Structure 1
Amino acid sequence: MDKKIQIIAIAIAVVFSIFVLTSPSDPISLPDPYSNTKSDFVSIIAENLDKPRAIAVSEDRIFVTEKDGFIRVIQDGILLESPLASLRSANVFDGGLLGITLHPDFSNNHYIYVFLTYDEDGNLWNKILRITESENKLKDAQTIFDKIPGSSFSNGGFIKFGPDGKLYVGTGTVSDSSHLPQDLNSLSGKILRLNDDGTIPDDNPFSNSPVYSLGFRNPQGMTWDDDGNLYVAEFGPEKNDEINLIQAGKNYGWPEQQCSGDKKFENALLCYDPSIEPGGILFYSGDTLDFESPFIMASMRAANLYQLDFAEGLSSQKSILSGIGRVRDVVQGPDGSIYVITSNTDGKGFPDGTDDKLLRILK
C-alpha cells in the first residue's frame, strides 16, 4: 500500500476507534467502576494511586511508580500503606519518577531499577537508580547512569530488561526544536543499552557508547516478541505517534522525519494521526488469555487497551478494555495475567473518587 494512503487509512481507523470504542454503550467497558469484583475477566487490585507511571511484577508482588517519587507495593492483593521508597523528583509536568523494572534475578538479588527526573542548579536531568529492597523497604540505592538531558514534557523514561539480559532505556528530547536526537554524542532522544551495573556493553553498535538507536522524540513503551525483536511506542507532537521495530544502530528520524518518507531513516511500523498517546506495549507470551494477536498497547488519549497486528495495521486494532479512562502501562504477570494502570490523575484526565487504579485481566 502507498505510504500516504496507509497513513490516511490509519487516521480514519483511529478516529473511528476512538469514537466507537469509548462510547457509553461499549459492551467491553467495565460495568461498575467502583466494584472490586467486576467480573471473571477484570478485577481492581489497587485504588487511589497518585499519578502512577509504570508497573513491574515479581512472583509475589507488584511495584508501581508514582510520578512524585514513590514506589508503591501491592502484596497479597493489598496496596501497602508505606511506600518502598520516597525519592526526590523534579516537579515538572511530564517528568519525575517514571519507569521501573526488576532485575532478571530479582528473587535473589532484590534489584529494582527506576528512571528519575531531577533538578540540579536549575537544570533538569534524568538518571537510573538501582535500588536494593528488603521486606518492602529500601536497603540501598545507587545511581548507575546519570546526566540524561531532562525536560518538562518529554523525558521518555521507560526501562526494561531485554531477552539478552541488557537494560534498555528510552530517553526523550529536551524540546521539539532540539536536534540532539540526531547527535550521537548526546543521550537525548535515544534507545540506550546498558549492562545491569550501568556500564556499556562491548557489543553495542557504536563503540564506547550506550546508544543502541537514535532519532526519537518521546519513547513511552517497549516490548520484545518471541524472536527477540524490540518494539517501541512513542509520542509524536500532537500527531504522528509511532510504533517502531528497533534495530541496532538505526536512525528513526526525529526531528527531521515523522513516521516515514526519508530514505535516510527507518520507517515506522504504525503511524497514528491524530494522536492516541500510546503508553506501554506488550507482546503477550502466555497461554492463559486468548488473543487474536499477541501485541497489546495501552492508550491514554484514546482511553483503551488494544490488541493489534502490525502486519495488518490499524484494520486489525481491537479494544480489549475501555471505560476506565486513560491507560498508561500494561505488563504481563508470571501467571499469564495482564496488569494495567490508569492515568487519570496526570493532569489530562477526569479522575473519579477512586483513581488511579491498578487492574488485573485474567480469565
Structure 2
Amino acid sequence: MDKKIQIIAVVGAIIFSVLVLTSPNDPIPLPKPISNSQNDFVTILAENLDKPRAIAISDNRIFVTEKDGFIRVIEDGNLLESPLAAFRPANVFDGGLLGITLHPNFSNNHYIYVFLTYEEDGNLWNKIMRITESENKLQDAEIIFDKIPGSSFTNGGFIKFGPDRKLYVGTGTVSDASHLPQELDSLSGKILRLNDDGTIPTDNPFPDSPVYSLGHRNPQGMTWDDDGNMFVAEFGPEKNDEINIIQAGKNYGWPEQECSGNENYEDAILCYDPSIEPGGILFYSGDKIDFEFPFIMASMRSANLYQVDFEDGLSSQKSILSGIGRVRDVVEGNDGSLYVITSNTDGKGFPDRMDDKLLRIVK
C-alpha cells in the first residue's frame, strides 16, 4: 500500500466497501492508518486525540470534542497541550462529550455549544451547554437545555446552527425497543430546534415544543444546501443507515419504519444495507477543491470519506479519502479546505500508536 494518503475517485471503492461489510457486531479489519505527517493533498494537524467526536472551526482555531470530556484546541496548526475545558460525562460506550458548534457571532460573543451525556440517580440524560471562552480558556459554562433522555448506545448528539441562526440538535432513542421517538412529548429520537439561549422559537412546527421532526433513531450528522434544505445522516440498527431531508413537523418512522415502505412516514433519500455508519456530512460550498458532487460524508464502518450525489444515490458515490481507518466527522474551513477526524480509538477500530488524528484536505 502506498505510504502516502491517497485521494481516490473510483466508483468501485464504494461498491467494494458496501459488499464486504458485515454487521456492526462483527467489524471487518480496517486498513492500517497511515503514519506519515503530510503529502501534497492531506496534512495531519494533530495526533493522539482520544476518542474525538466532532469538529468546529473559527478563523484560526479548530475545536475538537473528545468523548471522555475534553475540548481540545488546534491553533494555527498546533494542538495546544491544555484543553479549553474538561467535563465529567457519563462513562458509557457511545455517550459522553459529543457534538460541538460555534455561535454564528462567535468572533464577538465567544459562545461554544456542546452536547453532553451525564448520569443522575442511576439514569442517563443529555444536556446542551453554552460555554464562553477567552484565549482558549473557559470563562463560563451554563446549561441551556436539559433532560434529553440518554442511552449507552444511541444518544445522537450532533448540534449545528442552521441558516436561520437557530440551533438544531439530533437526539437518539433510549433503546431499539422504545417508542419514544414517536411520542411528541418526548425529546427522544428527535431533531430539536432552539434559540441560541435554549428557549423555544415561536415559529416551531409544534406550539411550545422544541421538536422540529420526529421518528429518528440515532442522528449523526447534519448539513444544509444552498437552497436551505436540511439533510441528516443517521445510524440504523445493524443495517438501513439513512440520509433524510428534514422538513418541519414530519415523522421519519423509527421504530415503525426503516428507510421506506410506510405511507404514514417520510422515506429516506438514501438507505445503506448493510450499514456503513455515516458520521458528519456537509454541503461543500467552497471553490478550493473541485468535487464532482457537493455533498461530503464521513463513514466509520466503511472507513472512507465520500462525495455523494444524493439525487442519483449510490451509483454516484465516490471515495475522496481512505486508508486512515474510521472517519468520524468532516467540516469545511473558511478557506475552503476540509477538516476530518478519525475514530479509531472509539472501541470499534484498529488504532495505530498515533491515533486518533485531525487532518486537513487542501485539494
1:47-66 to 2 correspondence within 5 Å? 47-66=47-66
Query: What is the CA–CA distance in structure 1 between the aligned matches of 2:66 and 2:297, rounded to whole Å?
Result: 20
Describe the shift of the 1:246–1:288 C-alpha distance in structure 2 as closer, same or farther (beyond 3 A). same
Aligned counterpart, 1:260: 260
Whether contact under 8 Å (2:18, 2:274) holds in the other structure is: no
SS class of match (1:311)? coil
Cα-Cα RMSD = 1.7
Paired letter, 1:198: G
2:122 matched to 1:83? no
**Matched residue type, 1:313:** G
List 4+ stretches of structure 1 deviating above 4 A.
12-15, 18-21, 29-32
**Aligned partner letter, 1:92:** V
Shift in Å, 1:32: 8.4
1:210-359 matches, within 5 Å, as 210-359=210-359
The Cα offsets for residues 87-107 of structure 1, whole Å up to 9 and x where unpaired, read as 110000000000000000000
Task: Tell me the amino acid that sits aligned with residue 196 of structure 1.
Answer: D
What percentage of residue pairs aligned between the two structures are identical?
Answer: 82
Contact 1:14 1:274 (C-alpha < 8 Å) held by counterparts: no
Partner of 1:33 in structure 2?
A: 34
Distance 1:165 1:159 in 2: 12
2:119 aligned partner, one-letter code: D
- Residue of structure 1 equivalent to 2:6: none
> 1:291 and 1:258 mapped to 2: Cα distance?
30
Report the 3-state secondary structure (helix = DSSP H, G, I; strand = E; otherwise coil) of the residue aligned with 2:206: coil
How far the C-alpha of 1:31 sits from its partner, in A, is 11
Structure 2 counterpart of 1:286, one-letter code = G
What do residues 74-115 of structure 1 show as CA deviations (whole Å, max 9, x unaligned)?
A: 001111010000011000000000000000000000000000
Alpha carbons 1:182, 1:214 under 8 Å: kept: yes
SS in 1 for 2:314: strand
Q: For 1:199-214, what aligned pairs fall within 5 Å after superposition?
A: 199-214=199-214
CA shift for structure 1 position 310:
1.0
Question: CA–CA distance in 2 between the matches of 1:31 and 1:253?
Answer: 37
Query: Which 5+ residue runs of structure 1 have no aligned equivalent?
Result: 1-11, 22-28
1:241 and 1:278 in contact (8 A); partners too? yes
CA distance in 1, matches of 2:44, 2:112: 24
Q: Deviations over 1:270-326 (max 9, x none)?
A: 000000000000100001110000000000000000001011110000000000000
SS in structure 2 at match of 1:152: coil
Matched AA of 2:117:
T
1:123 and 1:116, CA in 2 relative to 1: closer, same or farther beyond 3 A? same
Q: Supply the distance in 2 between the matched residues of 1:284 and 1:78 (Cα, whole angstroms).
A: 25
- Give the secondary structure class of the aligned counterpart of 1:107: helix
- For residue 214 of structure 2, what is the amino acid of its counterpart? L
How big is the shift at 1:17? 3.5
8 Å Cα contact 2:33-2:352 kept in structure 1: no
Residues 13/239 of structure 1: CA separation in 2 closer, same or farther (3 Å cut): farther
Quote the offset at 1:30 in angstroms. 10
**Cα distance, 1:35 vs structure 2:** 1.6
C-alpha displacement at 1:33, in angstroms?
1.7
Matched with 2:67 is 67
Shift of the 31–119 alpha-carbon distance from structure 1 to 2, 3 Å rule, reads closer
Which residue in 2 is equivalent to 1:179? Answer: 179
The answer on whether the counterparts of 2:47 and 2:358 sit within 8 Å (CA) in structure 1 is yes
Aligned AA (2:35): Y
* Alignment partner, residue 25 of structure 1: none
* Contact persistence 1:13–1:314 (CA under 8 A): no
Counterpart contact for 2:308–2:317, Cα < 8 Å: yes
SS of equivalent to 1:321: strand
Q: How far apart, CA to CA, are the structure 1 residues paired with 2:105 and 2:32?
A: 39
Query: What is the number of equivalent residue pairs in this alignment?
Result: 344
Cα displacement (A) at 1:254: 0.1
Query: What code does the residue aligned with 1:187 have?
Result: L
TM superposition shift of 1:60 = 1.0
> Which digits, 9 at most, give the CA deviation of each residue in 1:1-39, with x for residues without a partner?
xxxxxxxxxxx9955234699xxxxxxx999822212x2
1:168 aligns with 2:161: no
1:16 partner SS? helix
Change (3 A) 1:55 1:188: same
Matched to 1:301, the amino acid is: R
Residues 15/318 of structure 1: CA separation in 2 closer, same or farther (3 Å cut): closer
Residue identity in the other structure for 1:101: T
CA contact (8 A) 2:32 2:325 kept: no
Partner of 2:132: 132
Uncovered stretches (5+) of structure 2, i.e. residues with no partner: 1-11, 22-29
SS at 1:314 equivalent: helix
Opposite residue 295 of structure 2, the aligned amino acid is F
Matches within 5 A, 1:142-153: 142-153=142-153
Structure 1 residues 127, 47: CA separation in 2 closer, same or farther (over 3 Å shift)? Answer: same
Q: What does the per-residue CA deviation read over 1:170-225, in whole Å, with 9 as the maximum and x for residues that have no partner?
A: 00000000000000000000000000000000000000000000000000000000
Does the 8 Å contact 2:241/2:278 carry over to 1? Answer: yes
**Amino acid in structure 1 at the alignment position of 2:34:** P
